[in-house]
Structure 1
Amino acid sequence: MDVRLDVFSSGRFPRWGKGLKLGVGLLLGASLSACGDPDWQGTDWTKNYQDNFETRISARAALMPGSTDQAYQPSPDGTPNSPVAYHAPSMLSYEDRPLNENIAGSLELSDYVKAIQVAKLDPWISGPGPYTLFAFPNAAMERLSARWPGGLLAPANRGQLTHILGYTIAYGKWDEAALRKAIQHNHGHAIGLKTLYGDLLGVQLSPQKGELILENTAGQINRLGSRSFPQSNGILYFTQDTLLPVPVLRPASAGSKNGHH
């Protein structure tokens, strides 16, 4: 688990710059340790998957959010039309299953799941972790993909896709209570979570409502769409929109050849 406090400088939360100016990287508690960037060449994926025999069995599950119930529209001409045909199936997140299995059971995250598979990041979120996943819902993922010629999942855009999705995977197990406690220990200032490729993802409390929000170093934000969902290898959140790492990635037509800066 890796967290840095007061490391960013942004327009919305200017106090993020304090730690950066002092050159101080703070770690939260003795239990936090540094995690390196993924070593793709040296990773044995056959040993990276979660061992079911080491997982505590639990019957607890929570209903994940979805928008499929909004598909039903009453017939304008009075023709018999039943909302039963548009029934939204229950999408459950099981606490004894890993991130990759639970997100695969969510219709709301189908585009995100496909992108994770295309970027070949699913082995990471199937392993022991722990990781905290800030998953993009379908509508937000589709808006983001449309900004790239041929779509973000096109082979030419694989570098950008991998970097963007890596920014949604943070080291450590960070539910709401853990995030709020870390912010409180940092005197109410934003904290920075280390993500898969080393980019720092900021977490701050909204000045208006006290809600947890995500922020990059450019001051752009992304709100969380619901509560957190415990996983056997971490924590799952649904976000309301997308958030890119900084430097801001540009579509291939703008001259960016890959997503690694």
Structure 2
Amino acid sequence: MPQRFAFSSSFRNVMSSKHLRLGSGLLLGLALAACHKSDWHGTDWSHNYQDSFETHSSTKMRYMPDTVTQAYTPSKNGEPNTIVAYHRPPSPSYEDRPLDENIGASVELADYFAALKYTGLVPWITGPGPITVFAIPNKAMEDMSARWRGGLMTPAMKGQLTSILGYTIVSGKWDEKALRKAIARRKGQGVGLKTLYGTVLSVHEDPQTGELFLNNPAGQVSKLWGHSFPQSNGVLYFTQGALLPISHVK
């Protein structure tokens, strides 16, 4: 499938496919070290932050989805049980704040953000961008982690987790309008987006419902949860599931 954009040459050189091979801690270490030393947009990514003084101020915001209130179950035996205990003010996504701030403020993305910090990938979503992130919600993160004995948040699985999370980070400002326009140009065929480590994430539009969904080369599918959220340095999506790079599909 044709790719609709390309990362910068320095990005391609640093994040070549050889860094994705499993079972080699040395290669992973070299890849992560290269990330920190690379010069994308002329910035050391280990200390790359969007300059607030160069960010257009805005009062626009949207509430991000969560499932906290859905955890409430009415009491059946008279024991104290109140919805107040499950109530939480909604999490807003501010359009003039970067991806890392809005993701970090979302209860629904707590596991995803913790994994980004653990793998050292947060700097990739703090810069000027534009960057599009297809973030994985808590339940999907937990279900995915359960596929591996001991889970993904362990030293032995850090390489796998790093490449899986890299599959959710895409270069460019791919909001819904941009995606639908690209799909329309391809006469309804999906559009392929190159992710952080060079693998392709495909986006399609359901011809019946008009919904956008993601799929990987193995045919796995994940629907998007709600609409896209504009960020000062890109776009944020919530997915309904987790997709794996083809090398991780079991």
**So what's the TM-score if we normalise by structure 2?**
0.84
Asked if 1:246 corresponds to 2:246, the answer is: yes
Aligned partner of 1:81 in structure 2 is 81
Aligned partner of 1:145 in structure 2 is 145
Q: Secondary structure at the match of 1:59?
A: coil
- The 8 Å contact of residues 36 and 46 in structure 2, kept in 1 or not, is answered as no
Compute the displacement of 1:105 (Å).
0.7
> 2:37 is aligned with what amino acid?
G
Compute the displacement of 1:46 (Å).
5.6
Aligned partner of 1:195 in structure 2 is 195
**So what's the TM-score if we normalise by structure 1?**
0.81
Compute the displacement of 1:174 (Å).
0.6
Q: Secondary structure at the match of 2:237?
A: strand
Aligned partner of 1:171 in structure 2 is 171
Aligned partner of 1:56 in structure 2 is 56
2:3 and 2:98 map into 1 onto residues whose CA distance is 30
- The 8 Å contact of residues 160 and 249 in structure 1, kept in 2 or not, is answered as no
Q: Secondary structure at the match of 1:114?
A: helix
Q: Secondary structure at the match of 2:57?
A: coil
What count of residue pairs does the alignment treat as equivalent?
Answer: 223
Structure-to-structure mapping, 1:1-261, within 5 angstroms: 7=1, 25=2, 27=4, 33-35=6-8, 36-37=11-12, 38=15, 39-43=34-38, 44-45=44-45, 47-249=47-249
- The 8 Å contact of residues 171 and 195 in structure 1, kept in 2 or not, is answered as yes
How big is each residue's C-alpha offset from its partner over 1:182-229, in whole Å with a ceiling of 9 and x where there is no partner?
Answer: 000111111100100001110111133121110111211111011000
Q: Secondary structure at the match of 1:70?
A: helix
Q: Secondary structure at the match of 1:140?
A: helix
2:46 and 2:3 map into 1 onto residues whose CA distance is 35
1:231 and 1:90 map into 2 onto residues whose CA distance is 18
Q: Secondary structure at the match of 2:73?
A: coil
Q: Secondary structure at the match of 1:116?
A: helix
- The 8 Å contact of residues 213 and 222 in structure 2, kept in 1 or not, is answered as yes
CA distance 1:34–1:114, change in 2 (3 Å): closer
> 1:49 is aligned with what amino acid?
Y
Residue segments in structure 2 that go unaligned for 5+ positions in a row: 16-33, 39-43
1:117 and 1:148 map into 2 onto residues whose CA distance is 20
- The 8 Å contact of residues 200 and 216 in structure 2, kept in 1 or not, is answered as yes
- The 8 Å contact of residues 115 and 153 in structure 1, kept in 2 or not, is answered as yes
Q: Secondary structure at the match of 2:62?
A: strand
- The 8 Å contact of residues 133 and 169 in structure 1, kept in 2 or not, is answered as yes
1:192 and 1:228 map into 2 onto residues whose CA distance is 18
Compute the displacement of 1:248 (Å).
3.0
2:205 and 2:126 map into 1 onto residues whose CA distance is 30
2:6 and 2:73 map into 1 onto residues whose CA distance is 52
1:240 and 1:26 map into 2 onto residues whose CA distance is 24
Q: Secondary structure at the match of 1:237?
A: strand
> 1:87 is aligned with what amino acid?
H
2:125 and 2:36 map into 1 onto residues whose CA distance is 17
How big is each residue's C-alpha offset from its partner over 1:131-154, in whole Å with a ceiling of 9 and x where there is no partner?
Answer: 110011101100111111211010
Compute the displacement of 1:166 (Å).
0.2
Residue segments in structure 1 that go unaligned for 5+ positions in a row: 1-6, 8-24, 251-261
Higher helix share: 2
> 2:180 is aligned with what amino acid?
R
Compute the displacement of 1:80 (Å).
4.4
Compute the displacement of 1:173 (Å).
0.6
